[in-house]
């Protein structure tokens, strides 16, 4: 089926959605990038242009390829224009909203349009429940920033067809990413393993065992590129807290996944990290 994928749509023009759209465009695909917020689309367009220019400046991308990739992306705030062979959603991490979007997309697309979720923690089987032809619903989880990070998790739900799974595996390889196939379990592979990098660091802070600066310095000295608190700020405390909460509930409130009150307070205060100018650290 990979030869039948000519056009791709990405729903959600945040940092993840914009990065995913850029990845597909650089691979030569025509891409529609959708968001309900027109201002977010403008921000995404400027961000993609900046990313491509930086790649040229670092001699990682020829000028001609930069222009071609940028020209392949179209921007829209009309969900009814999202007709494509593959649609990847990168919207808020709430299962009801993802289902609602996929239901709308199923109504305006053919039965063979593949509906892929970039969810980092929600079960693909639950997202596909109630969607017409759930066999075409699959997980395609990129990592932030999507245009730089090589790994992509491809997840098969209980109803996902073998043909769709193989198509997504081939596509992931075709766009130059490193493929890992994961079972449809909470957090899949990476987020389940990495969760304790955040959760235990926050617990240490709650217990006042050390400072966040010391925790970051310690982990970086051990070989990690970013300490846990710097990384949570980079990813977004709202996103990180939502994923932890999702895993906590998925594992029936297993204490080892308990979300942190400190991080919840950050989210409540709007201290989301780099994107808001303030998180555990200040970026203003």
Span 97-127, pLDDT tens digits: 999 999 999 999 999 999 999 999 899 999 9
**CATH number for position 44:** 3.40.50.720
> CB-based contacts of 132: which residues, under 8 Å, 6+ apart?
103, 106, 107, 111
- pLDDT surpassing 90 at residue 95: yes
Total number of domains constituting the chain: 2
Beta strand 151-156 pairing with 137-142: antiparallel
In a domain, 176, yes or no: yes
Which one of the listed residues 121, 156, 161, 191 is annotated catalytic?
191
284 is catalytic: no
Which one of the listed residues 51, 135, 153, 201 is annotated catalytic?
153
Please check whether residues 166 and 206 belong to one and the same domain: no
Check residue 39 and give its pLDDT: 96
Kindly report the pTM of this predicted structure. Answer: 0.90
Please check whether residues 149 and 39 belong to one and the same domain: yes
Q: CA 37 to CA 178: how far, in whole Å?
A: 32
pLDDT (average), residues 192-214 = 96
pLDDT (average), residues 186-215 = 95
276 is catalytic: no
Q: Are 138 and 156 in contact (CB under 8 A)?
A: yes
Please check whether residues 98 and 17 belong to one and the same domain: yes
Please check whether residues 54 and 143 belong to one and the same domain: yes
Please check whether residues 84 and 117 belong to one and the same domain: yes
Give the tens place of pLDDT for each residue, 214-229.
Answer: 999 999 999 999 999 9
Listed residues 182, 199, 223: the one ending a domain: 182
Q: Are 279 and 272 in contact (CB under 8 A)?
A: yes
63 is catalytic: no
Please check whether residues 233 and 104 belong to one and the same domain: no
In a domain, 154, yes or no: yes
Please check whether residues 177 and 225 belong to one and the same domain: no
Taking Cα atoms as reference points, which of 136, 95, 124, 252 lies closest to residue 184? 124
Please check whether residues 15 and 39 belong to one and the same domain: yes
In a domain, 25, yes or no: yes
Average pLDDT taken over every residue of the chain: 96
Which one of the listed residues 120, 121, 237, 246 is annotated catalytic?
120
153 is catalytic: yes
Give the tens place of pLDDT for each residue, 245-272.
Answer: 999 999 999 999 999 999 999 999 999 9
pLDDT band at 2 (very low <50, low <70, confident <90, very high): confident
Calculate what percentage of the chain has a pLDDT beyond 90. Answer: 95
Residue 72, domain extent: 2-182
Check residue 284 and give its pLDDT: 86
Give the tens place of pLDDT for each residue, 22-57.
Answer: 999 999 999 999 999 999 999 999 999 999 999 999
Is the bond into 145 cis (omega within 30 degrees of 0)?
Answer: yes
Check residue 67 and give its pLDDT: 96
Q: Are 27 and 2 in contact (CB under 8 A)?
A: no
Give the tens place of pLDDT for each residue, 124-177.
Answer: 999 999 999 999 999 999 998 999 999 999 999 999 999 999 999 999 999 999
Which one of the listed residues 117, 118, 121, 141 is annotated catalytic?
141
pLDDT band at 1 (very low <50, low <70, confident <90, very high): confident
């Amino acid at each position: 089926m990979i030869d039948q994928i000519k056009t791709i749509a990405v729903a959600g023009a945040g940092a993840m959605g914009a990065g995913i759209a850029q990845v597909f465009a650089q691979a030569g695909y025509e891409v529609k990038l959708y968001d309900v917020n027109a201002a977010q689309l403008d921000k995404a367009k400027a961000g993609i242009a900046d990313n491509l220019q930086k790649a040229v400046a670092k001699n990682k991308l020829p000028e001609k390829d930069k222009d071609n990739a940028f020209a392949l992306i179209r921007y829209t705030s009309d969900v009814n224009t999202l007709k494509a062979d593959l649609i990847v959603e990168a919207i808020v991490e709430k299962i009801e909203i993802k289902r609602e979007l996929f239901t709308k997309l199923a109504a305006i697309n053919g039965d063979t349009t593949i509906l892929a979720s970039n969810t980092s923690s929600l079960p693909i089987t639950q997202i596909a429940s109630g969607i017409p032809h759930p066999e075409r619903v699959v997980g395609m989880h990129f990592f932030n920033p999507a245009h730089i990070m090589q790994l992509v998790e491809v997840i098969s739900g209980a109803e996902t067809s073998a043909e769709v799974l193989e198509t997504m595996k081939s596509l992931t390889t075709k766009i130059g990413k490193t493929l890992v196939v994961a079972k449809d379990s909470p957090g899949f592979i990476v987020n389940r393993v990495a969760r304790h990098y955040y959760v235990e660091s926050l617990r240490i802070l709650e217990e006042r065992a050390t400072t966040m600066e010391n925790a970051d310095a310690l982990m970086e000295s051990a070989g990690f590129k970013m300490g846990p608190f710097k990384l949570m700020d980079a990813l977004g405390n709202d996103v990180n807290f939502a994923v932890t909460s999702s895993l906590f509930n998925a594992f029936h409130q297993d204490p080892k996944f308990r979300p942190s009150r400190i991080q919840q307070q950050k989210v409540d205060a709007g201290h989301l990290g780099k994107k808001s100018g303030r998180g555990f650290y200040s970026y203003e």
